Structure 1
């Protein structure tokens, strides 16, 4: 609908402003995040300024690592390269830096590192960066915001096949087609340790969701799963729901997909067996009343740790409000329920639901302020 598109456009504007505010004012001297005693633990190159990085510039950026003469004195645990576009020469310098702190580096953020490069050069740079990961033992890897597609996933294959103890990996906004999803499933070697998998703003469709569902089936520790804005429909949603059954989920986000009541039905049993679930986001999922009622059946006397539930823009009416109350009552940790853009929930029903959940902040209007501390919550 027009309202959904307007809402998403507004989000993009807010995200862009927040990104600039977070990155603004950082300099090369400030990029090295110091831990206790001034020890450098986080090298963040994301200063809000986009630039093509040369080999010479790369040496300046990585000076906090490359300037350390004694390998045993390296302390960097996390590196973020975002918004810097790396050519092959610069990527080779980055690889040198990764190798220099291989004993300490755990978290590598390679998101948004090839912007503006011709495809052939971008793939070579990406391959160079990812090949250099082979000698590391990472816990987290982020490949988001790179125009990967299947070619890019293949270029990243060394990183995917050699990192066997990864706990977190992200593929947000990478053009993750059906073929790319299949490649991820085939290449990823960390399935036994993986706890967090994020896919966002991709063109995966149902067939891509099938491949990701096959991957999830082999990840016994999956805690945090996101497959958002990925064109997943009912069949793909049902496969994902079944694959997620029995996983120790803490956060599940499937919003902005055309899931429908069919997926909600498949989620019922999955939700019933989630003692650790804290955050559930099924906004903009075409649930309507039927799907919403099914989701609430899954949550009834289940998910005792639940903190936030998002069901915005699902064409929910007064007819589902009783089910919402029944599904969400008795959850001592529940702090926020998001029901914006469900325009057919009348004022009387809104007041009734608030009375049934007196200690929960419920938002029906996007402009409504909620009196909760979001800084303490992972949404």
Structure 2
């Protein structure tokens, strides 16, 4: 017989009744660049005797400010809740990893044990996960219960990095939120493997992620190992009939499932019928169900309503059932469904009237849509793979390994207006020589006519790297590149745009994913050789540190020839 531990019970009761204190700077819109800028937050943290939570939502932190806050956190092992959503407004992605790493190091030094970590609405992408990896793998997250990463632009690569970080020491998460991240099948599958190990999930929300039935099936297998799951939101993914089958097979293990949101998931009538049968067979005790805008026919909608209202307590239990945006039939049909669902039913905004005869056609269309979805899924997976910096570098480097085999986009050559544009489209020595004895001034005059700061910096970086790429074959190009590096930095400083410049340089050097579809036209080894010469002479300390951070982080994943080239320039890796 188990013994009753009065001391443990008393301790737990005291923890429950304890008033939670902390520091909350929500929505102050503070722009914190330097240590001095962060002094108010640092002072508040230092003055708080029991820092249970730290909320910085709605402010913007630079690296120096984050480091100052991190030092203050080193004295607070009691920290449990870090609500840091929307915390990098207006920052470049390049600032975020070192800032996150600094904050993580502060909590690691303190020996904190977080329960909640919220980094939603920070568009840091895969490189942000790199900044988080050490924290997620540390003891700080060993007791983590909620991880919120909504709208972070993770992509497939970020999901894989996240899964890798979590798998080394899987926390027993209760809540996992990762909507609007373009995870797709591969990302969902990577995370599903971690979910299987957790076994503790109660709420999972992964809406708007481009996941098809392959990823849904992987997630469904993982959900079987999480019997406490009560809330599942996969809105605006393509579950389809096949995905519905996978979910249906998981339902016998999910006796606690209370809320499902599969709105806008292209279930079609076949998928809806599959779910209806599973709900009925397993006596699923749903309270909220959203299957809106799924192209479900009238008869299949009726089967769903019958299934979820089968048990006598459904009138009291059901709080919200959304079938709007489907073909619910005529007024009498909708009235009947409404009567069954009572106040819980939301049936407006349907797509028109249909009868049972439409459902068979609907199923055929559903199968066709799913077949089309599979091929589209494969294409999307390949497209998203370009988010991986290694893949980007491989493509760029392999097609431009030497100045003699540069792959060029020659479309629109008839639109070239002058010699500078010709050089930027085809960055070859003969085109550089067309610019005369002082090509830097000619290029700068062309660029400075641009009014928009973002476009101006893009042109500066593209021109500088185009010239720098020729530096291994021409001393004249090497000297011109040095001048252009200096003038590019001066242009950014003049417009207070140092971080936009940093991001454009990182994209141009293939160290982070480029949002643009146009290929890198310059020769990367030449660019890095010219950069090694310019870095100590022309670059400010913050920019030097950031470039070295990313070069060092990506070094192991770069193609061997480019990696060897970089190692010939140790100044690019350390001071």
TM-score, normalised with respect to structure 1:
0.79
Find 2:208's aligned residue among 217, 225, 229.
Answer: 229
CA distance in 2, matches of 1:255, 1:218: 24
CA distances 1:338-378 after superposition (whole Å, capped 9, x unpaired): 122224543222211122234x51112269xxxxxxxxxxx
Find 2:232's aligned residue among 244, 252, 257.
Answer: 252
- Structure 1 residue matching 2:232: 3-state secondary structure: strand
- Structure 1 residue matching 2:326: 3-state secondary structure: coil
Return the offset for 1:152. 1.1
Deviates more, 1:58-67 or 1:223-232: 58-67
Return the offset for 1:40. 6.3
CA distance in 2, matches of 1:173, 1:294: 31
CA distance in 2, matches of 1:249, 1:303: 16
Counterpart in the other structure of 2:106: 132
Return the offset for 1:95. 1.1
CA distance in 2, matches of 1:132, 1:256: 38
Of Structure 1 and Structure 2, which has the larger fraction of its residues in strand? 1
Counterpart in the other structure of 1:328: 308
CA distances 1:74-131 after superposition (whole Å, capped 9, x unpaired): 223221212211112210222133233322x111122222222233333221221222
Find 1:365's aligned residue among 333, 343, 348.
Answer: 348
CA contact (8 A) 2:28 2:59 kept: no
Find 1:119's aligned residue among 93, 96, 99.
Answer: 93
Q: 1:64 to 1:283 in 2, by over 3 A?
A: same
Return the offset for 1:190. 5.0
* 2:257 pairs with 1:274: no
Aligned length: 325
Larger radius of gyration: 2
CA distance in 2, matches of 1:273, 1:122: 40
Counterpart in the other structure of 1:92: 67
Counterpart in the other structure of 1:17: none
TM-score, normalised with respect to structure 2:
0.53
Counterpart in the other structure of 1:291: 271
- Structure 2 residue matching 1:280: 3-state secondary structure: strand
Return the offset for 1:217. 1.2
CA contact (8 A) 2:181 2:209 kept: yes
CA distances 1:283-342 after superposition (whole Å, capped 9, x unpaired): 010001111111122211536542111111111221212311232012352211012222
CA distance in 2, matches of 1:157, 1:90: 21
Return the offset for 1:150. 2.0
Q: 1:277 to 1:42 in 2, by over 3 A?
A: farther
Counterpart in the other structure of 1:152: 128
Return the offset for 1:192. 4.6
Of Structure 1 and Structure 2, which has the larger fraction of its residues in helix? 2
CA contact (8 A) 2:322 2:345 kept: yes
* 2:38 pairs with 1:58: yes
CA distance in 1, matches of 2:24, 2:205: 25
CA contact (8 A) 1:276 1:303 kept: no
Q: 1:273 to 1:119 in 2, by over 3 A?
A: closer
Deviates more, 1:154-163 or 1:54-63: 54-63
Find 1:174's aligned residue among 152, 161, 176.
Answer: 152
CA contact (8 A) 2:41 2:69 kept: no
CA RMSD of aligned residues (A): 2.4
* 2:172 pairs with 1:193: yes
CA distances 1:32-83 after superposition (whole Å, capped 9, x unpaired): xxx999x662422222636345423322134332124xxxxx2232212122
Q: 1:63 to 1:266 in 2, by over 3 A?
A: same
- Structure 2 residue matching 1:241: 3-state secondary structure: helix
CA contact (8 A) 2:216 2:239 kept: yes
Q: 1:40 to 1:319 in 2, by over 3 A?
A: closer
CA contact (8 A) 1:143 1:171 kept: yes
CA distance in 1, matches of 2:35, 2:229: 43
CA distances 1:7-38 after superposition (whole Å, capped 9, x unpaired): xxxxxxxxxxxxxxxxxxxxxxxxxxxx999x
Counterpart in the other structure of 1:19: none
- Structure 1 residue matching 2:176: 3-state secondary structure: strand
Q: 1:42 to 1:317 in 2, by over 3 A?
A: farther
CA contact (8 A) 1:165 1:190 kept: no
* 2:164 pairs with 1:164: no
- Structure 1 residue matching 2:21: 3-state secondary structure: strand
Return the offset for 1:224. 0.8
CA distance in 2, matches of 1:292, 1:40: 45
CA contact (8 A) 1:164 1:190 kept: yes
Find 2:51's aligned residue among 62, 73, 76.
Answer: 76
Q: 1:95 to 1:366 in 2, by over 3 A?
A: farther
CA distance in 1, matches of 2:131, 2:206: 22
Counterpart in the other structure of 1:337: 321
